[in-house]
């Protein structure tokens, strides 16, 4: 499943994953919700743990501080300690990362994801990126009330930490990050000209190729996929950051990213560090929301008039008095139309 083609001036939001580093993205989306709800985007795409935070964000058509705060607290209250990740889980018949606890208990029951709100009251389409283990390509599956929980299990099927795969409608999927952790190029190819990207590591971060042993442990029975993961994961990670810094002609990219390495890593479960990470994201998100609101609505237009005046707003964005795009909370780039178009990055789809 490909991304929906953008017709006209469409805005997209892309949320990166990264295991427990997704706590930063969760904080950013909470901060955005206070000023800039999901209704201000035409499409939201979530990758890996980024899809978990984005799932809550796309269910709120207006600022809902308490509901958003409750969803955000999942990161440092419900996922800390040995609740989600533990070396002892296999002794109890579980995987290291307990997806049943995360999806079936937290998302379905304790902090219920109100999936019935998807695409209602002007909310955008929500696509979750996953790796198709049969075609060895990235797919963007539309989240619905009926499939979202299985889809989130597929999106968080991190090899080694989980079973590494999950079936949805007869197709076996895994975490999209194994092939493309930040599919920015795919959004550009689908025609989106105004893209906001939430990254969970600094823009300057460079990813090294995954080692042979990592690939072997991830997919011991699928050498081809193991090779593709080692070949494409770091390539797309680094290429997306290059594109964010130097967008193609006519494409505007707003990047929200931490200034430095986060207090947490891929599998950190220390509650205090997770809370610190969340708080960093909230601060960035609140500042970015004010900046983006002025970019999206330079004349102070309300969300109500967003759809009808999208084309006019888009052509005027960037004019007038706005905060400097070099502020640490958001880096906004718009490339002028050069005589020679920039070379396209390698697409994540190999079909």
- Catalytic residue at 175? yes
As a whole number of angstroms, the distance between CA 229 and CA 314 comes to 37
157 catalytic, yes or no? Answer: no
**Cα distance between residue 340 and residue 190, in whole Å:** 20
Helix/strand/coil for 292: helix
Structure token digits, residue 133: 């283990």
Residue 269 is given by DSSP the state -
CA 285 → CA 19, 27, 62, 244, distances in Å?
Answer: 19, 7, 16, 18
Q: Where are the beta strands (DSSP E) in 143-230?
A: 166-168, 171-175, 194-198
Q: Which of 48, 68, 131, 174 is catalytic?
A: 48
- Exposed / middle / buried, residue 298 (Cβ in 10 Å: 0-12, 13-18, 19+): middle
- Closest Cα partner for 45 from 240, 235, 227? 240
**Catalytic residue of the set 42, 98, 175, 239:** 175
For residues 52, 54, 60, 63, the Cα torsion angle rounded to the nearest 10 degrees is: 120
Q: Which of the residues are catalytic?
A: 48, 175
């Amino acid at each position: 499943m490909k991304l929906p083609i953008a017709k006209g001036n469409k805005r997209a939001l892309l949320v990166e994953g990264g295991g427990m580093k997704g706590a930063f993205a969760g904080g950013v989306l909470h901060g955005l919700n206070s000023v800039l709800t999901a209704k201000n985007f035409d499409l939201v795409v979530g990758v890996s743990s980024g899809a978990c935070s984005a799932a809550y964000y796309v269910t709120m058509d207006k600022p809902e501080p308490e509901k958003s705060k409750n969803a955000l607290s999942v990161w440092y209250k419900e996922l800390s300690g040995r609740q989600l990740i533990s070396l002892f889980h296999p002794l109890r018949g579980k995987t290291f990362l307990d997806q049943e606890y995360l999806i079936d208990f937290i998302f379905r029951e304790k902090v219920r994801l109100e999936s019935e709100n998807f695409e209602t009251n002007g909310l955008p389409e929500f696509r979750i990126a996953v790796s198709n283990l049969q075609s060895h390509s990235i797919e963007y599956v539309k989240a619905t009330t009926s499939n979202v929980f299985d889809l989130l299990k597929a999106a968080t099927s991190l090899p080694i930490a989980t079973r590494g795969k999950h079936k949805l409608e007869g197709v076996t999927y895994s975490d999209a990050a194994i092939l493309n952790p930040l599919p920015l190029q795919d959004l550009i190819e689908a025609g989106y000209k105004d893209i906001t990207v939430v990254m969970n590591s600094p823009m300057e971060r460079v990813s090294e190729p995954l080692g042979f042993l990592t690939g072997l442990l991830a997919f011991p029975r699928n050498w081809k996929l193991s090779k593709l993961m080692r070949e494409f994961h770091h390539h797309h990670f680094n290429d997306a950051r290059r594109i964010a810094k130097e967008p193609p002609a006519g494409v505007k990219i707003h990047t929200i990213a931490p200034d430095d390495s986060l207090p947490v890593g891929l599998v950190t479960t220390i509650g205090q560090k997770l809370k610190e990470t969340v708080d960093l994201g909230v601060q960035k998100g609140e500042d970015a929301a004010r900046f983006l609101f002025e970019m999206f609505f330079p004349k102070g237009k309300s969300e109500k008039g967003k759809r009808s005046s999208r084309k006019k707003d888009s052509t005027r964005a960037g004019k007038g008095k706005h905060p400097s795009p070099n502020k640490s909370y958001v880096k906004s780039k718009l490339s002028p139309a050069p005589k020679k178009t920039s070379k396209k990055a390698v697409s994540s789809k190999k079909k």
